[in-house]
Amino acid sequence: MRLTALCLALAVVLLAFLGGSAMAQSFVTVRGHTLMLDGREYRAIGANVPNLSQAFLGTWFHIAQKYGTPANAKAEMVAAIEDAERSGLAFFRFFADPGYPLDRSKLYDKDPAAYWRGMDELFALCRAHHIKLIPSLQTIPGPYGIFGETGQAILDPNSLTYEAVHRYIRDFVTRYRDDPTVLMWELTNEGMLGADVEMEGRKLLPAGVYPPGAKVREDGHNTDSLSFSMIQRLYMEHAAFIKSLDPNHLVTSGDACVRPECTSRRETFPNFKFRTDTWREWLGNNLLSQPAPLDVFSFHFYGNDLVTGPGEPGAGMTMIEQMRGVVRCCHAAGAPVFIGELGASPNNQSDPHGIWICKAIDAMEAEGTSLMALWVWHFNWQPDFTMDSATYPEIAARAKAFNHRHATR
């Protein structure tokens, strides 16, 4: 009897150990400039559905305009998920904040428990359809307009903006830190494009996206401006904060490439004097813009077969040649690359068979790029960019084949 009890106890311990190991192996990790999952290199193609959570929860600002009713919006998000599974897409990137101040007031501010129940339902649906998620938390500059603060309030631990952003990060990350449905966390969307941009006199969010009666400041101040170094600092602080809450998931920035005049903006702000970066400067600025402890470099590319003109870094190169240069620099620096938005220029309709996007996928596969997200999937807000498996079957087939080679487990 004692022997049987001892065997059972040992079995429980062994199962717990194996279960813990299996769970630990369910999260993507970094080895050099590659991503690893379950002991093998992991590479994947997904898609962007920017309004995924806000449309699913019925709070998106444009629901009446684009879907008619919240029920229709939710049904379209379900259709996007089902189409992604059929197409073999591996993940969705989406803007995971509560939205405009008016959108926030509809559910997140009024009934946070219902907000998180809705997010749980969305995660469960994606999990059931084998779609991982990259939630872009939109941490910078934060919802400062709601509180009558400026963009630089995100730097101040005593500000309402700082407190609100960190509370949302904490609530979101701790809720899903043990969930392999999260592929990785993203901080914000294209934060560095706002670096060293003088906000004095620029238009901020219009009054129409605030709840009725809200006190709105529509004109920017210079204290709404964030410098390159400020955003670097925020990337480091926010990534470290997420990692302190969640030991399981990687963190990326969500950046596009830096502006082509990044150096001159940084050196002459706020009295900006334009000068295009040299190719070497621009590559260096892209590396500098996404500091540790960020795990994965993020870039957004839209292209065609035309050669870049004299007003851009890397003049005389095609976009695919520029992409190769960026990816090789990041790999040399020892970090994986996530192409968070991949689309045709000037839009996907100009490339109705997806020829350029397929060329870009092939080129990035040859370079060992880890992750790519198509812009954009089931997103009728941008009719000239939106795609699905029926409208762009060549791209869907290329992505499915890529994932069969690199992401299938």
Give the CATH number of the domain where residue 151 resides: 3.20.20.80
Contact 334/343 with Cβ under 8 angstroms? no
CA distance 131 to 22: 19
Assigned domain for 198 exists: yes
Assigned domain for 252 exists: yes
CA distance 9 to 185: 38
Residues 221-236 have pLDDT tens digits of 999 999 999 999 999 9
Burial (CB < 10 A; 0-12, 13-18, 19+), residue 265, is buried
Q: Residue 298: which residues within 8 A CB-CB, separation 6 or more? A: 186, 252, 253, 254, 255, 256, 290, 337, 338, 339, 340
Contact 361/327 with Cβ under 8 angstroms? no
Residues 323-376 have pLDDT tens digits of 999 999 999 999 999 999 999 999 999 999 999 999 999 999 999 999 999 999
Assigned domain for 15 exists: no
Provide the number of structural domains found in the chain: 1
CA distance 303 to 298: 17
| 171-to-97, 101, 111, 394 alpha-carbon distances in Å | 12, 19, 14, 40
> In the structure encoding, which two tokens stand for residue 383, read together?
């009719």
Query: Parallel, antiparallel, or unpaired: how do β-strands 91-95 and 132-136 relate?
Result: parallel
Q: Residue 163: which residues within 8 A CB-CB, separation 6 or more? A: none
Q: Helix (H, G, I), strand (E, B), or coil: what is residue 184?
A: strand
> In the structure encoding, which two tokens stand for residue 116, read together?
């998180």
Assigned domain for 18 exists: no
- Which stretch of DSSP H or E encloses residue 323? helix 319-332
CA distance 272 to 262: 11
Looking at the DSSP bridge assignments, the partners of residue 102 are none
Q: Within its chain, how far is the Cα of 191 from the centroid?
A: 11
CA distance 60 to 52: 9
Structural domain for 299, as ranges: 32-406
> In the structure encoding, which two tokens stand for residue 260, read together?
């082509």
Residues of the chain with pLDDT under 50: 1-25
Assigned domain for 319 exists: yes
Q: State which amino acid sits at residue 310.
A: P
Q: State which amino acid sits at residue 263.
A: T
Peptide bond into 336 cis (omega under 30): no
Residue 409 pLDDT: 62
pTM, full prediction: 0.93
Q: State which amino acid sits at residue 386.
A: T
Assigned domain for 257 exists: yes
Q: Within its chain, how far is the Cα of 302 from the centroid?
A: 16
End-to-end CA distance of the chain: 42
What is the CB neighbour count within 10 angstroms for residue 396?
25
> In the structure encoding, which two tokens stand for residue 239, read together?
């990534």
Residue 339 pLDDT: 98
Assigned domain for 12 exists: no
Cα angle, residue 179 at apex, residues 293 and 374 outer, rounded to 5°: 70
Q: How many Cα neighbours within 13 Å face the side chain of 117?
A: 5
CA distance 391 to 394: 9
Residue 311 pLDDT: 82
Q: Within its chain, how far is the Cα of 236 from the centroid?
A: 16
The 3-state DSSP composition of the chain as helix, strand, coil percent (nearest 5) reads: 45, 15, 40
DSSP 297-364: EEEEEEE-SSBP-TTSTTTT-BHHHHHHHHHHHHHHTT--EEEEEEEESS-GGGSTT-HHHHHHHHHH
Assigned domain for 7 exists: no
